[in-house]
Amino acid sequence: MSRLIVISNRVQAPTGSHSGAQGGLAVALAAALREYRGIWFGWSGEQTDEFTGQISLQRNDGVTTATVDLEEQDIEEYYNGYANRTLWPLFHYRIDLAEYERGFAGGYQRVNERFAETVLPLIEPDDVVWIQDYHMIPLAAELRKRDCRNRIGFFLHIPWPPRRLLSTLPEAEELVRTLFAYDLIGFHTEEWLQSFTDYATQELGATLDEAGRLLRLGDREVQIMACPIGIDADEFIQAARSPTARLTFRQMRDSAVGRAMIVGVDRLDYSKGLEERFLGYERFLLEHPEERKEVFLLQIAPPSRGTVESYQKIRADLEGLAGRINGAYADLDWVPIRYVNQGYARDVLAGVYRAAKIGLVTPLRDGMNLVAKEYVAAQDPEDPGVLILSRFAGAAAQMPSALLVNPYSAEDMSDAIMQALRMRREERIARWRPMMDMIEREDVLWWRQQFTHALLGDRAVELLQDSDQ
């Protein structure tokens, strides 16, 4: 019987609970694997002295996971190197931070070859393969070299850069050619899809059909689609009503002592625009001295990729900036920025979001940004807060009723904060309602179904019928 094989850099085994430890992507993939009786394959996150390809098989909450350990050199070149110091900054338009080293590219290719060799024996002739994200762009090509004829799909969870930016990557042409080994490629937005097709047609000579959904290059053709990921809306709404969320809500309201809370929740990453956000908030404090003691910014920023130098720098810079702003504006009974370097469970965050008058989601570039959707989903329908959202986040295309801002403009951000603070309840509800309707309609399960049905085609119905037997 046909199955779905999911492959990603890291594998997150289902916990069987809604404690908030799992992200929306993990929830969606686990649901798909239960539905189609598949396997989730990827790196264990652990290091081994010598790569052997030995697979660790586990079954948790109805999902089978298969993981392998990587050598230290693999981790440094493939993960810390090419994935996080080359592709991540480049795809987020930060070519000033991208490091183009042959050793990184070689390690990236080597690990994808190792993944292909290791996972291939797990793939049966009728299986369908779904590969996730930028860590594994060439994986389908490596599987094809090993005579894998299965239907294979790829979903990119980060932006696809414009053609001229991508052309700065020495291996750009070769990397894009490997994507034609897939049968289906998914992007979060039409913008990312169009950037990909622009490179494929202008640089490689690929042709696009009239509908704009089928690319041909030589004897290969690949279907392309834009399908924005969502959150597990029902689960998050329940989390916002949980005892933990209610307790957190009361604690935050008590600690605010009548002040309006502005909240930002972001992984500590240069793509999130945190320094620009602090500067925009500082401009607000400067331009509106009468509002200074009436608001505060809570910025939650758990560290990530601490071994990468650019991430160490942003943490130091942000700590310095927060200290400078607090030193310049704080008073005996008020601090303008509460800056927290740790993560919290989603039910706790739901309570924080609900207590916040403003959600500040201002990345310089994001594939989607689910924090924006979580903030909206956590709100009180009768008295919702205001979402201030970067127009450069993928979510902006779905959420035009948010206050859309240019995160590079401190003045724009300052004006939006003031507008949000003064916004009447009727307008807040009118802006919130269409966003909430979209979040419930196009949730993470909708996203997963859209992609898997496109990948499976007519076989989707057959597989669903098999899974019900």
State residue 373 phi and psi, 5-degree precision.
-75, -40
Q: Is residue 408 domain-shared with residue 449, that is, in the same domain?
A: no
Q: Is residue 182 domain-shared with residue 256, that is, in the same domain?
A: no
Helix axes of 346-355 and 243-256: crossing angle, nearest 10 degrees: 40
In a domain, 198, yes or no: yes
Q: Is residue 295 domain-shared with residue 312, that is, in the same domain?
A: yes
pLDDT at 20: 43
Q: Is residue 422 domain-shared with residue 301, that is, in the same domain?
A: yes
Nearest to 98 by CA among 265, 308, 386, 396: 308
Task: Quote the domain boundaries for residue 375.
Answer: 233-441
Say if residues 355 and 253 touch (Cβ distance below 8 Å).
yes
Q: Is residue 31 domain-shared with residue 129, that is, in the same domain?
A: yes
In a domain, 68, yes or no: yes
Q: Is residue 74 domain-shared with residue 158, that is, in the same domain?
A: yes
Catalytic: which of 157, 288, 415, 466? Answer: 157
In a domain, 469, yes or no: no
- Please report, in angstroms and rounded to a whole number, the separation of the first and last CA atoms in the chain: 12
pLDDT at 457: 83
The pTM score is 0.93
Domain holding 155: CATH number? 3.40.50.2000
Q: Is residue 260 domain-shared with residue 137, that is, in the same domain?
A: no
For residues 315 and 98, what is the distance between their CA atoms, to the nearest angstrom? 18
pLDDT at 1: 56
pLDDT at 19: 43
Task: Establish whether 366 is a catalytic residue.
Answer: yes
For every one of its 469 residues, what pLDDT tens digit does the chain have, with 9 covering 90 and above? 579 999 999 898 776 544 444 566 787 888 888 888 899 999 999 999 999 999 999 998 889 999 999 999 999 999 999 999 999 999 999 999 999 999 999 999 999 999 999 999 999 999 999 999 999 999 999 999 999 999 999 999 999 999 999 999 999 999 999 999 999 999 999 999 999 999 999 999 999 999 999 999 999 999 999 999 999 999 999 999 999 999 999 999 999 999 999 999 999 999 999 999 999 999 999 999 999 999 999 999 998 877 778 788 888 999 999 999 999 999 999 999 999 999 999 999 999 999 999 999 999 999 999 999 999 999 999 999 999 999 999 999 999 999 999 999 999 999 999 999 999 999 999 999 999 999 999 999 999 999 999 999 865 545 544 544 4
Bridge partners of 360, per DSSP, are 388
Q: Is residue 226 domain-shared with residue 284, that is, in the same domain?
A: no
Q: Is residue 204 domain-shared with residue 320, that is, in the same domain?
A: no
Catalytic: which of 269, 366, 412, 443? Answer: 366
Q: Is residue 176 domain-shared with residue 323, that is, in the same domain?
A: no
Q: Is residue 212 domain-shared with residue 349, that is, in the same domain?
A: no
Q: Is residue 282 domain-shared with residue 195, that is, in the same domain?
A: no
In a domain, 404, yes or no: yes
The number of domains in the chain is 2
